[in-house]
Amino acid sequence: MKNKVKEIFDFATFVARLKSEKRFKTVKNFRGDDVASHSWRLAVLVFLIANELNLKIDVLKAVKLALVHDFPEAVTGDIDAHLLHGNKKLRIDKIKKEKIAISEMTGILSELQGNEIKNLWEEYSCYKTEEARYVYVLDKIEGVYTFIEIDSFDHYEHYDLIATYAIEGYKIFPELKTVLDFIQNKIKKNFEDNGVKWKSEYDIEKNEI
């Protein structure tokens, strides 16, 4: 038992690297966010929104998915969304490196615990379940909201990506329409306040099933 506890704390030390792994590193004039803070807030949103919308999902599993979904970035680092957008080769390379990383990381743990984390990460990465699809879309929403709450247009460069990022996954989990409406209205007001044209393809209605 003593060795098992040590393994858990060794793993906790390893994933604590996420506290110093910055997000939005290439965004100008942006003080940044870190992966650990993002994952924590995503987990909070996962259970609060699931409860509010009375979603028929396994909320505990969804919270676990939110917590582990970026674990490999403790090894690989984070890549900004605008660099991945439309770059199939970089996306494939990212997944390959993350698969290796999650296997290496979970090797610290017992086979039972390590396999649970690897399976959760695989479930999220492949959007295999309703819980994974739910967390996937909320992950995008949380990222966009980070820009919104800064309340500074100086950080916006990739307008099309920011306006469509949260609704990219809308078709895989339409139950989040209420939340997406809230986010899109926030973005639209920000665009309009700063003289940026709002395009019709940014509207959720254009992406409905």
The label of the residue with tokens 């100008």 reads 28
Phi, psi at residue 193, to the nearest 5°?
-65, -25
pLDDT at 30: 67
Distance of alpha carbon 187 from alpha carbon 184, whole angstroms: 5
pLDDT at 208: 59
179-202 b/e with 16+ CB inside 10 Å = b?
Answer: bbeebbebbeebbeeeebebeeeb
pTM: 0.92
Average pLDDT, 10 consecutive residues per value, the chain (209 residues): 85 95 77 88 98 97 98 92 85 93 95 96 94 96 86 69 84 92 91 87 73
pLDDT at 168: 76
pLDDT at 67: 98
**Which CATH number applies to 2-147: 1.20.210.10, 3.40.640.10, 1.10.630.10, 1.10.3210.10?**
1.10.3210.10
DSSP assignment of the chain: -HHHHHHHHHHHHHHGGGGS-EESTTSTT---EEHHHHHHHHHHHHHHHHHHTT--S-HHHHHHHHHHTTTTHHHH----HHHHTT-HHHHHHHHHHHHHHHHHHHTTS-HHHHHHHHHHHHHHHTT-SHHHHHHHHHHHHHHHHHHHHHT-GGG---HHHHHHHTTTTGGG-GGGHHHHHHHHHHHHHHHHHTTPPPPGGGSGGGG--
pLDDT at 209: 52
**Any idea how long the chain is?**
209
Do residues 41 and 138 lie in contact, with contact meaning Cβ atoms separated by under 8 Å?
Answer: no
Would you list the domain boundaries of the chain? 2-147
